[in-house]
Structure 1
Amino acid sequence: MSPHDLTSPQRRAFLRRSGQLALTGTALPFALNLAAMGEAAAFNAPSNDYKALVCVFLFGGNDYANTLIPYDDTNYNLYSAIRGGGTGQTAGGIALAKSALAGTLLSPLAAPTDSQGQTGRQFALNPAMTGLANLFNVERKMAVQLNVGPLVKPLTRAQYNDPNRALYPRPPQLFSHNDQQSIWQSSSPEGSTVGWGGNMGDLVLGNSLNTSSVFTCMSVSGNAVFLSGDTALQYQVSTSGAIKIKPATNTTVYGHASVATAINNLLRENRVHKLENEYNAVTKRALDAEAAIAAAVPASEDATVFQNIGFPTDSLGNQLKMVARLIKGRSTLGARRQVFFVSMGGFDLHDNLMRDHGGLLGRVSAAMTAFYNATVELGVANQVTSFTASDFGRTLASNGDGSDHGWGSHHFVVGGAVNGGRFYGEAPPINVTDGSGSPRVYSAAEQWHVGQGRLLPRTSVDQYAATLAKWFGVTDTEMPQVLANINNFGTPASRADYPWDMGFMA
């Protein structure tokens, strides 16, 4: 499909996005990738299906090494020594005791692929992540994507250090919180104003699967750059439902129902002045959307819906519960393709890693497990896929009480259509050594980090996104239009070791 095959709004969005990518020359981030996949899916989807993607963003940069912990003796001992636990397999420094990991030891259907050809690699989840461990080991509905992060093209450590950035490009502003959050959510570092969700919304206006474009890109976590577009805006809801324009809908604001009715009418009527009329048009759209949300997720069901699921009552649990309620009300909203954003903060653990990290991961595990169970109850488990993302991973090396900013990390994909119970990508070596000689020569084990155990991604976000895109309905022919850097990987680049499809989706 070429830009000329698109309707005018689609063509403008396509050309704008292409122009942005040409100017930036940077890695197309995960978020923008998914926006474009919505465009292709809109042309390929059957008329009676529903699919949703749910991004669970972990703000602050999640510590990968205490999320997915080496369990086999050889690699556990390396992990423990690097993190200050010594060689006794007991807790110390920022290393977890091996005995604490038995309950979350993962039993994959196939052994993980190891970048050094090791056999017998084993991993356990953080002891607090019992729910996701069960989804991996028993339900087989959770997969682990190893060492994923932004890449422009495949990169070795020597190439990363090469000053010729034109020949060996890397994503901009690595290790910066705000920039890397934006890189994952849009095509640019901090300051980007358009992201993947908004681009999807732009395309929905021209050729939609949804009755209303308003409910295509929905955040339950406040403003998110990847849900902003040229003509489509992200629709934000709270964990209680629509965010109301109180004077027009709440009779207690001015003390009488007739006042609210009058204000409502004033905000809906046509005006002669163009700015006034546009203001009223925007307000009317907001009031109509509020009414639609109220019908789709009535307040009366809040205490009773999914009462047997056991959603956690913390922020992430409440956000995912609202997503489940919105999916339940998808017919009322006229939605057949949706992308949601939820988030949780607190992962920037330079200090107090051992005190705080397990509790955070326990909340993630409980909320994502409850959300999967809710999709089962709704009968849409095969049509809803949730996945984690974060600013970056962190250092394997300890800074004394925590870990510092990194790059690649491990992420989780959950859903009925997930080829679960498996690891995807390559398990990185447990290593923090820094090469030798001048110029430096790196051993095989030193190739896949860029200092202090900061993982050099072995899977790009383009590959991660392409795997989801294929499930969402994008064909191989369309894939280069969806993912600007995808031809730097896989068959077009003669890089079979960086495939387009990682295999974690059915």
Structure 2
Amino acid sequence: MRPNRRSFIRCASLAAAGNVLGLRPFGALNALAQSATDYKALVCVFLYGGNDANNTFIPYDTAGYNSYANIRGPLAIAQNQLLPLTPLPNFALNPNLPDLQTLFNNKNAAIVANVGTLVAPTTKAQYQANQSLPSNLFSHPDQQLEWQNASQSAAAPTGWAGRIADTLNTSYNPNGQVPMITSVAGDTLFCNGSASTPVSVSPGNLGAAACSESTTECGARLATAQALLSFDTGLTLVQADDTITSNAYNYSKILTAATSSVPKLQTVFPANNGLAAQLAQIAQIIQVRAALGVSRQIFFAGIGNFDTHSDQIAQQSALLAQISPALAAFYQATQELGVASNVTTFTMSDFSRTYQPNSNTGSDHAWGSHHFVIGGAVKGGQMYGTFPTLALGGPDDSGSNGRWVPTTGSMQYAATLAQWFGVSAAQLPAIFPNIGSFATNNLGFV
């Protein structure tokens, strides 16, 4: 991912102060929370590398499956292994997603079909004529940035979550002790606003000021680091980041104090599962929302690597087998906390992958993909958007190997989530500059 200004100043400050303390960059920073009745949270789970949606959400009717098996060849999953979706009898899920099958069949999850980065509604003919297309399609770093900034140009400096925070923070979090946005997966464009700053948390280590050495040595490191932060360097960027880092120490103290005062959640998250650890940390922060005084929160989590150019079946199966129980445990945790209808979790990814396999039993970079939305407020058990015609060279194929031209823009997907979160119709254009190019700005899944 391309470095941006905020990434530079954060790294500069953490190198000066955090390294003295013995902390890894972004290792012990932030969190969020809220205080009571009008609480809402969005939780983004980014599938880095481009998840193959064609082997995630699969035709199950006889004609659809036979066509799938014929074209996908070595990537096709046996029909008797697929997990049928009761409300959508013509579709099934990958066999490694049993928990998502249950959530969908219980109407706590929905699927949004053929979503991708778009500047405006685009047809196959317009794509082939190179008309109004997002920049650098099929490029991992560019498409990751464009999903996160919803501007369809990798050059946009802020993310759509950051712009939501810019817009809503004063209204919803006037007394918040921590920022609206937190990441448990490092520094990302998604979280960056113009006027608001996110914080990063290392899962399981909110109080990062607790280093691994003796109390005396840790205290000396902390004192030295904080002394460095007080120096007037005369450099604007470094001074600005010193403020960010000082805030990080404060957030660490606030979060540690808040989370240490509540009982451990009863929900059991899967062990040895990185995504589960991230989501468990998010659940713990949501648990102390009242103490933190924040009524709106946005969280960012991530897992990779879905860049399956070879040996795809084994690689994707292992990753989906982590995602399914992690998402189910998180939903269970929101039920335990009494906020299942107040927390909406959704997936994003660089892109999907070609329907036609490559010569290495893998698949290559594509475009339109299918995504999950989970939560008690979700109008689940349904597919939203338009499922593509799965034919090489067909009406939805941008070329001849199964790169589906999206029928729903990622901006529409994001705008639907934003409106549920509290963004008004009048505020949408400030957050999603091209939303007026689409006839629909709310897909109705939540």
SS in 2 for 1:319: helix
Cα distance between partner residues in 1 of 2:336 and 2:86: 26
Please list every run of 5 or more consecutive structure 1 residues that lacks an aligned counterpart in the other structure.
Answer: 1-45, 85-92, 112-120, 435-445, 491-498
Q: Which residue of 1 aligns with 2:290?
A: 331
Does residue 420 in structure 1 map to residue 364 in structure 2?
no
Cα distance between partner residues in 1 of 2:181 and 2:327: 20
Cα distance change, pair 274–258 in 1 and its aligned pair in 2 (3 A) = same
Q: Which residue of 1 aligns with 2:96?
A: 128
Q: Which residue of 2 aligns with 1:344?
A: 303
Q: CA deviation at 1:369?
A: 0.8
Q: Which residue of 2 aligns with 1:148?
A: 115
Q: Which residue of 2 aligns with 1:482?
A: 431
Q: Which residue of 1 aligns with 2:32?
A: none
Cα distance change, pair 278–181 in 1 and its aligned pair in 2 (3 A) = closer
SS in 1 for 2:201: strand
Cα distance change, pair 196–281 in 1 and its aligned pair in 2 (3 A) = same
Find 1:255's aligned residue among 205, 216, 234.
216
Q: Which residue of 1 aligns with 2:319?
A: 360
Q: Is the 8 A contact 2:173 2:294 kept in 1?
A: yes
Cα distance change, pair 124–199 in 1 and its aligned pair in 2 (3 A) = same
Q: CA deviation at 1:150?
A: 1.2
SS in 2 for 1:132: helix
Q: CA deviation at 1:424?
A: 0.8
Cα distance change, pair 348–260 in 1 and its aligned pair in 2 (3 A) = closer
Q: CA deviation at 1:358?
A: 1.4
TM-score of the pair, normalised by structure 2: 0.84
Find 1:429's aligned residue among 379, 386, 389.
389
Give % identity: 41
Please tell me the root mean square deviation across aligned C-alpha atoms, in Å: 2.8
Cα distance between partner residues in 2 of 1:467 and 1:205: 19
Q: CA deviation at 1:107?
A: 1.3
SS in 2 for 1:55: strand
Equivalent residue letter for 1:309: V
Q: CA deviation at 1:215?
A: 2.8
Q: Which residue of 2 aligns with 1:226?
A: 190
Cα distance change, pair 458–273 in 1 and its aligned pair in 2 (3 A) = closer
Q: Is the 8 A contact 2:348 2:371 kept in 1?
A: yes
Q: CA deviation at 1:237?
A: 0.4
Cα distance change, pair 95–207 in 1 and its aligned pair in 2 (3 A) = same
Q: Equivalent residues in 2 for 1:1-400 (5 A)?
A: 48-84=37-73, 93-101=74-82, 104-108=83-87, 122-137=90-105, 139-163=106-130, 165=131, 169-186=132-149, 187=151, 189-190=153-154, 192-203=156-167, 207-212=171-176, 214-242=178-206, 244=208, 246=209, 250=211, 252=213, 255=216, 259=220, 262-263=223-224, 266=227, 281-298=243-260, 305-400=264-359
Tell me which structure has the larger Cα radius of gyration.
1
Q: Which residue of 2 aligns with 1:407?
A: 367
Equivalent residue letter for 2:63: T
Cα distance change, pair 283–219 in 1 and its aligned pair in 2 (3 A) = closer
TM-score of the pair, normalised by structure 1: 0.74
Cα distance between partner residues in 2 of 1:272 and 1:185: 35
Cα distance change, pair 450–308 in 1 and its aligned pair in 2 (3 A) = same
Residue deviations 1:134-171, cap 9 Å, x none?
Answer: 0011x2100010111111111111111114x3xxx011
Cα distance between partner residues in 1 of 2:349 and 2:205: 26
Residue deviations 1:73-129, cap 9 Å, x none?
Answer: 101111100011xxxxxxxx110001111xx10011xx5xxxxxxxxx711100010
Cα distance between partner residues in 1 of 2:219 and 2:406: 60
Cα distance between partner residues in 2 of 1:258 and 1:356: 44
Q: CA deviation at 1:312?
A: 4.2
Residue deviations 1:22-52, cap 9 Å, x none?
Answer: xxxxxxxxxxxxxxxxxxxxxxxx9941100
Shifted more, 466-475 versus 217-226: the winner is 466-475
Cα distance between partner residues in 1 of 2:164 and 2:418: 13
